[in-house]
C-alpha cells in the first residue's frame, strides 16, 4: 500500500453534484454527509461502523473509519492502483463477476401471454393505453396460446423450469383461453418432465370463486393491481364508465385471499403523484391478507398523465423508508410484515447480487401479443421497439443479441459509473427508453436505506437471513 494516505478520520462527503442531488431529496436531511461513492465501492455510515459495499458482487463489509478514509482519499485522488492494492491486501479483491462478454443468448424460459388486449377499466396512466396497446382491441385465439406454450417448451430439458404468465389488458376478459392454455401447459409439462410456474396480473374486477379454485389448483402467483384504499384507488383505476372499482374488487378478492394455500395473492400498487400515502396503504393492504404488497412508481405513462414528476421522488423515498422502518420494527418483534420491496432488496443484498440487467426482458423472458408477436416484455407488445420475432418462427436471435448488448448496464450512461449499477441493473428498459432515467436519486436513496437496514438486521437478527447469515468485519488497516 502506498504511503501518504490520509488518515484523519472519515469525511464521508461526496462530490457537490452527487451530494446536492441527495440533499434535494432530503426533506428529512437523512442523506447529508452519510455516504461516499466511487464507481467500484460505496461507503455508508451506520451505528455499527462504516459499511463498505464492493460494487461488483454487492459484497458488504463493516470497516473502521481509518480504512474508510484511506479508500475515500485514494478515490478522490484517482489512485485506482492503490485502491486495488488495499482491496487485495484485505482479501476483498476478486475477479470481476460482471464483464462485457455475452455468453450466448439465453433461450426463452418465461412468456407472458397478452391473452386479452382489452380491458374493462380506464386507468389514467395505463401502459397499454386502456388495454388495447393503442391498437384495435383483440383477444388471443386458443391456437395462438397453444403454439406459444409449444414454443416456450421447445428444447427445454426434463427437470428445467419455465414460467407462463398472463397479462393484458385484463387477462380474465379472455378467461376460456387462459384456462385452456394453463391446462394444456400443465399437461405438456408433466408429459415432458418440465417444472412449470403460472402467474397472472389482474385488475381483480372479474375474479370469481371458480377462478380462485383454478388458480389454487395450479398454484398461481396472482398479482392484483390496487393503487390504494377507497377513493385513492378509484381516482386512478375507475371503470371505463368512471365509476370507482375499489369496493367491487375487494368483494371479489375476499374469497381468493381466504383460499390461498398453494397460490400466492399479492398486491401491486402503482405509485403516482396522487397516491403517495404509501405507509397507510401498506398497513391496510397487509391487513387484508395479501401474501405480499409492493410499490412501483409510475415513471412513464403514454400520455404523461399521472407519471411521477422528479420532485415527487423525494416524497416517495420518505414514504418507502417509513414503510421499511415499520417492516424492521415488526420483524425485530417477531411479526410478519410482507412489504415486498424491502424483502427483495434485503434478499438481493444478502445473496450478493451482481446483475447486468434490471430484469429478464429480452433475455429469457418475453411478451407474446394476441397475434403471436414476440417482444422483449409485456410492455413492448405492439410497440416497434423491442420486437423479437414471432411464435411461429421463434425468437430472432440477431435482434435479441443486439438488445442484450445495447441494454447491458456497462453500455448505459451514466449507469456504467454508478455505484448502484449491479443492484439496479440500469432501470426498466421500457421506462428508460420512453422517459430516460429520472428516478436515479430515488433508486440510490432506497438502496442506501436497504443497505443500512441490512447491516442492522444481520447484526441483531441474523436468523432472518437463514443459516448463512452473518456480516464479517474487516481488520482495520494500519
Ligand atoms: S438507472 Fe440510475 S441508479 Fe440505476 S444504475 Fe443507472 S444511473 Fe445508477
Ligand atoms: S423492461 Fe420494465 S416492464 Fe419490462 S420486464 Fe423489465 S422491468 Fe418489467
Neighbours of 475 (CB within 10 A): 11
Q: Whose grid coordinates read 378478492?
A: 253
Cα distances (Å, whole numbers) of residue 261 to 221, 250, 289, 326, 344: 11, 19, 12, 26, 21
Q: Which domain does 158 fall in, by range?
A: 110-380
Mutate which of 414, 439, 440, 450 for ligand 1? The one with the most ligand atoms within 8 Å of its CB, which is 440
Backbone angle region of 468, left / alpha / beta, with phi > 0 → left and psi within -120 to 50 → alpha: alpha
Mutate which of 444, 447, 448, 450 for ligand 1? The one with the most ligand atoms within 8 Å of its CB, which is 444
Mutate which of 359, 364, 412 for ligand 2? The one with the most ligand atoms within 8 Å of its CB, which is 359
Query: For the chain, what is the domain count?
Result: 1
Q: Is residue 217 part of a domain?
A: yes
pLDDT of the residue at 471:
42
In the reported structure, the alpha carbon of residue 379 is separated from the centroid of ligand 2 by a whole-number distance in angstroms of: 7
Q: Is residue 315 part of a domain?
A: yes
pTM score, whole prediction:
0.90
In the reported structure, the alpha carbon of residue 268 is separated from the centroid of ligand 2 by a whole-number distance in angstroms of: 14
- CATH code at position 195: 3.20.20.70
pLDDT of the residue at 25:
40
Q: Is residue 387 part of a domain?
A: no
Residue 235 to residue 230: CA distance in whole angstroms: 9
In the reported structure, the alpha carbon of residue 95 is separated from the centroid of ligand 1 by a whole-number distance in angstroms of: 23
- pLDDT one digit per residue (tens) for the chain, 478 residues: 222 222 334 555 444 333 333 443 433 334 445 889 999 999 998 888 899 999 988 889 999 999 999 999 999 999 999 999 999 898 886 677 766 666 678 999 999 999 999 999 999 998 777 767 777 889 999 999 999 999 999 999 999 999 999 998 899 999 999 999 999 999 999 999 999 999 999 999 999 999 999 999 999 999 999 999 999 999 999 999 999 999 999 999 999 999 999 999 999 999 999 999 999 999 999 999 999 999 999 999 999 999 999 999 999 999 999 999 999 999 999 999 999 999 999 999 998 888 899 999 999 999 999 999 999 999 999 899 999 999 999 999 999 999 999 999 999 999 999 999 999 999 999 999 999 999 999 999 999 999 999 999 999 998 898 764 444 433 332 2
Q: Is residue 447 part of a domain?
A: no
Determine which residue's CA is closest to atom 2 belonging to ligand 1: 440
Q: Is residue 375 part of a domain?
A: yes
CB-based burial label for 259 (10 Å; 0-12, 13-18, 19+): middle
In the reported structure, the alpha carbon of residue 437 is separated from the centroid of ligand 1 by a whole-number distance in angstroms of: 7
Q: Is residue 468 part of a domain?
A: no
In the reported structure, the alpha carbon of residue 260 is separated from the centroid of ligand 2 by a whole-number distance in angstroms of: 27
pLDDT of the residue at 91:
84
Q: Is residue 448 part of a domain?
A: no
Determine which residue's CA is closest to atom 4 belonging to ligand 1: 426
**Distance from the Cα of residue 352 to its chain's centroid:** 16
CB-based burial label for 398 (10 Å; 0-12, 13-18, 19+): exposed
Residues near ligand 2 (Cβ within 6 A): 358-359, 361, 377, 379, 428-430
* Ligand having the closest approach to the CA of 441: 1
Residue 174 to residue 168: CA distance in whole angstroms: 10
3-state helix, strand, coil in the chain (%, to 5): 40, 15, 40
Q: Is residue 4 part of a domain?
A: no
In the reported structure, the alpha carbon of residue 366 is separated from the centroid of ligand 2 by a whole-number distance in angstroms of: 10
Amino acid at each position: 500500500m502506498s504511503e501518504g494516505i490520509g488518515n484523519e478520520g472519515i469525511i464521508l462527503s461526496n462530490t457537490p453534484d452527487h451530494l446536492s442531488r441527495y440533499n434535494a431529496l432530503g426533506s428529512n436531511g437523512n442523506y447529508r454527509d452519510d455516504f461516499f461513492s466511487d464507481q467500484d465501492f460505496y461507503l455508508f455510515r451506520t451505528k455499527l461502523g462504516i459499511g463498505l459495499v464492493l460494487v461488483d458482487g454487492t459484497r458488504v463489509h463493516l470497516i473502521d473509519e481509518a480504512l474508510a478514509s484511506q479508500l475515500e482519499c485514494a478515490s478522490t485522488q484517482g489512485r485506482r492502483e492503490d485502491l486495488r492494492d488495499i482491496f487485495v491486501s484485505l482479501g476483498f479483491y476478486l475477479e470481476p463477476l460482471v464483464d462485457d462478454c455475452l455468453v450466448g443468448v439465453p433461450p426463452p424460459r418465461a412468456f407472458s401471454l397478452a391473452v386479452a388486449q382489452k380491458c374493462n377499466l380506464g386507468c389514467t396512466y395505463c401502459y397499454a393505453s386502456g388495454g388495447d396497446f393503442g391498437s384495435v382491441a383483440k383477444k388471443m385465439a386458443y391456437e395462438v396460446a397453444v403454439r406459444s406454450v409449444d414454443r416456450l417448451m421447445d428444447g427445454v430439458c426434463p427437470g428445467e423450469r419455465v414460467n407462463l404468465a398472463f397479462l393484458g389488458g385484463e387477462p380474465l376478459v379472455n378467461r376460456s383461453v387462459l384456462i385452456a392454455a394453463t391446462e394444456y401447459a400443465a399437461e405438456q409439462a408433466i408429459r415432458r418432465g418440465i417444472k412449470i410456474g403460472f402467474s397472472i396480473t389482474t385488475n381483480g374486477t372479474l375474479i370469481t370463486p371458480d377462478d380462485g379454485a383454478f388458480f389454487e389448483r395450479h398454484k398461481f402467483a396472482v398479482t392484483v393491481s390496487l393503487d390504494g384504499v377507497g377513493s385513492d384507488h378509484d381516482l386512478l383505476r375507475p371503470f371505463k364508465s368512471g365509476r370507482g372499482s375499489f369496493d367491487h374488487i375487494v368483494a371479489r378478492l375476499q374469497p381468493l385471499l381466504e383460499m390461498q394455500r398453494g397460490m400466492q395473492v399479492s398486491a401491486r400498487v402503482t405509485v403516482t403523484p396522487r397516491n403517495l400515502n404509501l405507509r397507510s396503504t401498506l398497513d391496510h393492504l397487509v391487513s387484508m391478507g395479501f401474501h405480499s404488497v409492493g410499490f412501483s412508481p409510475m415513471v412513464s405513462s403514454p400520455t404523461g398523465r399521472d407519471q411521477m414528476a422528479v420532485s415527487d421522488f423525494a416524497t416517495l423515498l420518505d414514504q418507502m423508508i417509513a414503510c421499511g422502518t415499520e417492516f424492521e420494527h415488526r420483524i425485530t418483534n417477531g411479526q410478519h410484515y410482507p412489504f415486498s420491496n424491502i424483502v427483495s432488496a434485503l434478499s438481493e443484498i444478502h445473496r450478493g447480487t451482481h446483475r447486468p440487467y434490471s430484469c429478464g426482458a429480452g433475455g429469457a423472458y418475453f411478451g407474446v401479443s394476441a397475434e403471436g408477436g414476440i417482444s422483449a416484455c409485456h410492455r413492448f407488445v405492439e410497440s416497434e421497439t423491442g420486437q423479437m420475432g414471432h411464435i411461429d418462427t421463434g425468437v430472432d436471435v440477431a435482434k435479441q443479441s443486439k438488445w442484450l448488448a445495447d441494454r447491458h448496464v456497462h453500455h448505459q450512461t451514466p449507469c456504467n459509473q454508478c455505484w448502484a449499477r449491479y443492484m439496479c441493473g440500469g432501470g426498466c428498459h421500457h421506462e428508460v427508453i420512453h422517459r430516460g432515467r429520472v428516478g436515479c436519486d430515488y433508486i440510490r436513496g432506497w438502496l442506501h436505506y436497504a443497505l443500512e437496514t441490512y447491516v442492522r438486521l444481520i447484526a441483531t437478527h441474523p436468523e432472518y437471513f437463514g443459516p448463512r447469515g452473518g456480516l464479517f468485519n474487516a481488520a482495520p488497516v494500519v
